[in-house]
Structure 1
């Protein structure tokens, strides 16, 4: 995770100031002493202490949970939030409660917006790219099954003569699911068009003269 190199009169002073400035708690970071420092001889040849601090995932989990609580309380302060990380780059938040429908919004737009601002918030605290995934009442799993059905229906239309099917605009994770599901249908190809938040997937019949270059180009757009 994020690493910082800090200097000060002593290791204790560095850690105290660091905790206060970052709002970080003991156990949410590790540190390595680079130089213990020295008071010198009668003030001469004095040397600052130097340590390298590594901020741990526990800090980001706590900050993400606090951020989400502050936002969600305006919808329903009884909603429960749990946060965990798969690794140092992907953080997952699960929210449960009777009021989650207000958060999910129509077609999941509210949930997508919350995830977007949560991702921005957490990335401002880190020096590596972090992905935030928010699931409300297993909405994503239900949405996944719906997308699977949408893909099956679109492929059926292509096989019945349609040359091109344009799906409704989707979030990036939903478009990835579409492209993934379509891999089992060798007679169709897909790519994404448009600009966020109106980017959508296009499904077409695969032609025999589709060459490798064309497929690579489409693969680049499968986002």
Structure 2
């Protein structure tokens, strides 16, 4: 389904440029008809802007494809081929190939994910029934899918061998689903997600791994606090009991241990009357 939209500007060329930006379609692929040329008038009186009629397709597939083409053109990237494949009634794959396309992939496909998100917004705006568009560049998604499968298998083996949880780096929802799906086929391990937003991660866990009881904000309240042990108070030497000397038969003075002389309660030698 298509509709005609009137665009006006000071010149026909400006009107075409305006339409290209408005509808996200390269000028070379824009379907338009010139209704009237611009008129200068006399002393500014009676001047008229140029007017064109643009045929705009409301087909979501057309809108999605044109959005991708416009982004590539803005980045001055020229694709060798853009292929559109309808995998189901609600899913379409847009595959792009060409030199320098790694620029729109980014680290672990982060830029590609953003392009895909914006493409879906542009194609589904004001359209009844949502259709999902997958944007792929240089067959990146299949390569990444294979890498994720190997990562899931390796991590599952490590989790079983070490008997502990293994947390992976933050991933997109698409990549997390790939990890979950692969680990489901491996016996003895399971997965769950933690975190939120861009920091959401997958945890690969042995099935016999015991879940640790979370600590409360006030700490572990199950254990009673240990009683504080007060140091034993040192007993001062009793002046009425004579000291015990080795080999003598004199009655024994109790032996007292302390960390310092002050704890024994003895007088300072410098102040004592005993020399």
Aligned counterparts of 1:87 and 1:126: Cα–Cα separation in 2 = 17
Aligned counterparts of 2:205 and 2:163: Cα–Cα separation in 1 = 8
The TM-score, its normalising length taken from structure 1, stands at: 0.65
Distance 1:160 1:91, change over 3 A: same
Runs of 4+ residues over 4 Å off in structure 1: none
Alpha-carbon contact 1:76-1:99 (below 8 Å) kept: no
Tell me what 1:114 maps to: 115
Aligned counterparts of 2:206 and 2:142: Cα–Cα separation in 1 = 28
Aligned counterparts of 1:208 and 1:147: Cα–Cα separation in 2 = 23
Tell me what 1:91 maps to: 92
Tell me what 1:204 maps to: 205
Tell me what 2:125 maps to: 124
- Confirm whether residue 71 of structure 1 aligns to residue 55 of structure 2: no
Tell me what 2:142 maps to: 141
Tell me what 1:60 maps to: 60
Aligned counterparts of 2:110 and 2:63: Cα–Cα separation in 1 = 23
Tell me what 1:161 maps to: 162
Aligned counterparts of 2:209 and 2:98: Cα–Cα separation in 1 = 51
Please tell me the root mean square deviation across aligned C-alpha atoms, in Å: 2.6
Partner of 1:129, secondary structure, is coil
Q: Which has the higher helix share?
A: 1
Please, which runs of 5 or more residues in structure 2 have no aligned partner?
6-22, 24-56, 212-275
Shift of 1:69: 0.6
Partner of 1:86, secondary structure, is strand
- Confirm whether residue 20 of structure 1 aligns to residue 21 of structure 2: no
Tell me what 1:220 maps to: none
> Once the two structures are superposed, what CA deviation does each residue of 1:82-121 show, in whole Å capped at 9, x if it has no partner?
2232233112110100111000011111111111111122
Shift of 1:209: 9.0
Aligned counterparts of 2:69 and 2:210: Cα–Cα separation in 1 = 54
Alpha-carbon contact 2:3-2:58 (below 8 Å) kept: no
Aligned counterparts of 2:206 and 2:153: Cα–Cα separation in 1 = 14
Alpha-carbon contact 1:64-1:83 (below 8 Å) kept: no
Shift of 1:72: 1.3
Shift of 1:58: 8.8
Shift of 1:65: 0.8
Aligned counterparts of 1:77 and 1:125: Cα–Cα separation in 2 = 29
